[in-house]
């Protein structure tokens, strides 16, 4: 949701686009796998920051998102992100990604 509003503020989405995107997100969110934050995820996020922080500018919340995904995902899962840097790190981690803004 935050990424949608950022793109709206940046002029990348108009009123119709953001309304449609929010509606679709609301419909799809029930199909998402939500993972509870755990110490294991935080530790993995710290490791990712150490590996990718300098080179890719990985941020804390992006690292937590990637850490949770990497720990629970199965081989046929796809990581969806609207963040170019996070997408680059995911690809470096050999995670299949979708970057819907491209």
What is the per-residue burial (b if ≥16 Cβ within 10 Å, else e) of 46-70?
eebbeebeeebebeeebbbbbbbbb
Residue 50 has pLDDT above 70, yes or no: yes
Residue 36 confidence (pLDDT): 86
Length of the chain in residues, anyone?
102
- In which element (H, E) is residue 87 found? helix 84-92
Residue 55, both tokens? 């080179």
pTM of this prediction? 0.73
pLDDT in tens, 70-98: 999 999 999 999 899 999 999 999 999 99
């Amino acid at each position: 949701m935050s990424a949608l509003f950022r793109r709206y503020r940046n002029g990348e989405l108009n009123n119709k686009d953001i309304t449609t995107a929010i509606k679709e997100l609301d419909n799809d969110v029930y199909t998402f796998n939500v993972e509870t934050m755990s110490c294991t995820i935080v530790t993995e996020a710290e490791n990712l920051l150490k590996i990718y922080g300098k080179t890719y500018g990985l941020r804390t919340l992006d690292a937590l998102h990637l850490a949770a995904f990497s720990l629970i995902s199965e081989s046929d899962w796809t990581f969806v992100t609207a963040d170019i840097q996070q997408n680059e790190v995911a690809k470096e981690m050999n995670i299949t990604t979708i970057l819907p803004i491209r």
